[in-house]
Structure 1
Amino acid sequence: MEKPWYKQFWPWFLMLLPFSVIIAMIITLTIASQQGDNPMVVDDYYKKGRGINAQVEKVKAAQELNIEFSFEQNEQTFTLSYASGAPEQLSALKVNFYHSTQAEKDFSETLTADAQGVYRGTLKYGEKGKWTITITPFDNRWRVTQQIQLPAYRKLAIKPLTYGV
């Protein structure tokens, strides 16, 4: 006499395949729901595109003014000074540092010039790496963006380049 189906190997083996897919799907959905929103996905791409165009205009304004900075690092401090295109009245500068791979390390500083026209700031993270530095004046009329490698062992020229937008 034959065994009933539920005591045989093959029905259970064949049912195991779809059940394993269902379990894998549940695990995947659980992991995906715990991760939250993806910062790389933009909800309003039109608005983001308009913002990028506005930033390009600010870079062009910096190019027209021939603005260039000299960046120098000494341990955990840095100095910025105009190499060309300095305005008659030196205003405060907002300097943003964006880490190339770790957004939680991004930071910004608002700097004012000393009597010699030198802006001084402090670096928050002393580790090596590629950073994008963005400099804008207090009135936000122009923008200078460039990628730099820290630590900087020599004086760097920071110019308004359109690729950094």
Structure 2
Amino acid sequence: MEKPWYKQFWPWFLMSLPFSVIIAMIITLTIAARYGDNPMVVDDYYKKGRGINAEVERVQAAQALGIEFDFNQVDQQFTLRYRGDKPQQLTALTVNFYHSTQSDKDFSQVLTADAQGVFKGDLPATEAGKWTITITPFDDSWRLSQSLNLPAYRTIVLEPLTYGV
């Protein structure tokens, strides 16, 4: 006498294939819903390209002006001091810190100079690692951006660099 269908191997094997696809689809949908869209994808490439050109022009303006800073860190505070000749008018500086891999750790500060021309700011509880610091004046006429490792145990010279130009 032959076994009933539910006691045989092949019907269960053939039914497991579609069920495994359904389980894989549920896992894929869960991952897609949790992590959402990638913020690195750009919708308007032309506008982004024009923005990159504007950034390069601002970096070149900083080079033409000879703008350089000394960056010092002591505990959770940092200072920026112009190297060489500082501008006649010390405008406020916008200082952005970008984490190399986790955009949720990025932060920004607006700093003004004290009587000695030193800009002082506070570092939140930043984790050690590679960061990119970007400095722009209040009028956005030049831009300085450089990678550094925090915490910084020595004076770091920040100078305007153009990559690939």
Task: Assess same fold via TM > 0.5.
Answer: yes
% identical equivalent positions:
73
Q: Letter of the aligned partner of 1:92 in structure 2?
A: A
**CA positional deviation for 1:76:** 1.1
| 1:34/1:102 CA distance change after superposition, 3 Å | closer
Deviation string 1:69-127 (CA, Å, 9 cap, x unpaired) is 11111111111111035211111111111111221211111111111111111111243
Moved over 4 A (4+): none
- Structure 1 residue 153 and structure 2 residue 153: aligned? yes
Counterparts of 1:1-165 in structure 2 under 5 Å? 1-163=1-163
Distance in 1 between the 2:35 and 2:92 partners? Answer: 39
Give the stretch that moved more between structures: 119-128 or 136-145.
119-128
Distance in 1 between the 2:20 and 2:119 partners? Answer: 62
Give the stretch that moved more between structures: 9-18 or 67-76.
9-18
SS in 1 for 2:83: strand
Distance in 2 between the 1:105 and 1:50 partners? Answer: 27
Distance in 1 between the 2:62 and 2:33 partners? Answer: 44
Give the stretch that moved more between structures: 135-144 or 11-20.
11-20
Question: Is the Cα contact below 8 Å between 1:68 and 1:160 reproduced in 2?
Answer: yes
Distance in 1 between the 2:30 and 2:127 partners? Answer: 35
Structure 2: gaps (5+ residues): none
Question: Is the Cα contact below 8 Å between 1:65 and 1:85 reproduced in 2?
Answer: no
Q: Letter of the aligned partner of 2:118 in structure 1?
A: V
Structure 1: gaps (5+ residues): none
Question: Is the Cα contact below 8 Å between 1:68 and 1:85 reproduced in 2?
Answer: no
Distance in 2 between the 1:62 and 1:85 partners? Answer: 13
Q: Normalising to structure 2: TM-score of the pair? A: 0.91
| 1:49/1:5 CA distance change after superposition, 3 Å | same
Aligned-CA RMSD value: 1.8
Q: Normalising to structure 1: TM-score of the pair? A: 0.91
